[in-house]
């Protein structure tokens, strides 16, 4: 495995938080990780997500030490919106994303690719984030929230991944409505997905499976 694609059921669910934890966990196993944020929107100066990812990566992989946040992104846009909407000048070329992925892959044992928004977020008029995950031909880690209503979002995302025959695992980021999760959401997951796991408690086991 050369890459792992980290996505979520939507925005502000915990993709960057999870990716940072993955960098630490893989480093403890001696895996030189790299990071790639193909597209970041809402950027007014430096891309903040890319900056955080790169700072963590530099500490575990010297081959990323000389890079800047701009080096680990293919496109940044100032409008905080889906890439297709933020790309008002229609600048996005998918080839550039694939070229950047290949270039960064050479600097690490495992490249962590963090998507933008959820799986169905449009990159171009006809190409979505889930299509990028499929075309990169790498397994996916789907991060789902713990807030009320997350069952619907989780099931829709799982169905989308299954419909495209994408290899994936999913985990819950126990953050929002954490106190009520065990009562309003967990009973369904326990009944239907007894193998479900939380990012906080089981990330190490996930890393061990991927090594």
Q: Looking at the annotation, which residues are catalytic? A: 37
Specify burial of residue 95 (Cβ count, 10 A radius: 0-12, 13-18, 19+): exposed
Task: Work out whether the CA dihedral 65, 66, 70, 73 comes out positive or negative.
Answer: negative
Helical residues (DSSP H) of the chain, grouped into ranges: 15-28, 48-58, 83-86, 94-105, 129-135, 150-163, 178-184, 186-192, 199-210
Least Cα distance to 84 among 41, 43, 113 occurs for 41
């Amino acid at each position: 495995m050369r890459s792992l694609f980290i996505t979520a059921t939507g925005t502000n669910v915990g993709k960057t938080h999870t990716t940072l934890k993955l960098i630490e966990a893989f480093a403890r196993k001696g895996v030189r990780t790299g990071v790639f944020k193909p597209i970041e929107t809402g950027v007014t100066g430096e891309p903040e997500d890319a900056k955080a990812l790169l700072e963590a990566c530099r500490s575990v992989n010297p081959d990323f030490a000389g890079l800047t946040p701009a080096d680990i992104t293919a496109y940044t846009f100032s409008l905080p919106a889906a890439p297709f909407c933020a790309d008002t000048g229609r600048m996005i070329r998918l080839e550039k994303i694939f070229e950047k992925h290949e270039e960064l892959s050479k600097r690490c044992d495992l490249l962590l690719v963090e998507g933008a928004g959820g799986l169905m977020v449009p990159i171009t008029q006809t190409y979505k984030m889930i299509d990028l995950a499929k075309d990169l031909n790498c397994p996916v880690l789907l991060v789902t929230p713990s807030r009320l209503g997350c069952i619907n979002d989780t099931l829709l995302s799982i169905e989308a991944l299954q419909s495209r025959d994408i290899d994936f695992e999913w985990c819950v980021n126990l953050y929002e409505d954490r106190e009520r999760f065990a009562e309003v959401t967990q009973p369904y997951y326990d009944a239907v997905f007894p193998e479900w796991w939380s990012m906080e408690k089981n990330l190490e086991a996930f890393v061990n499976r991927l090594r």
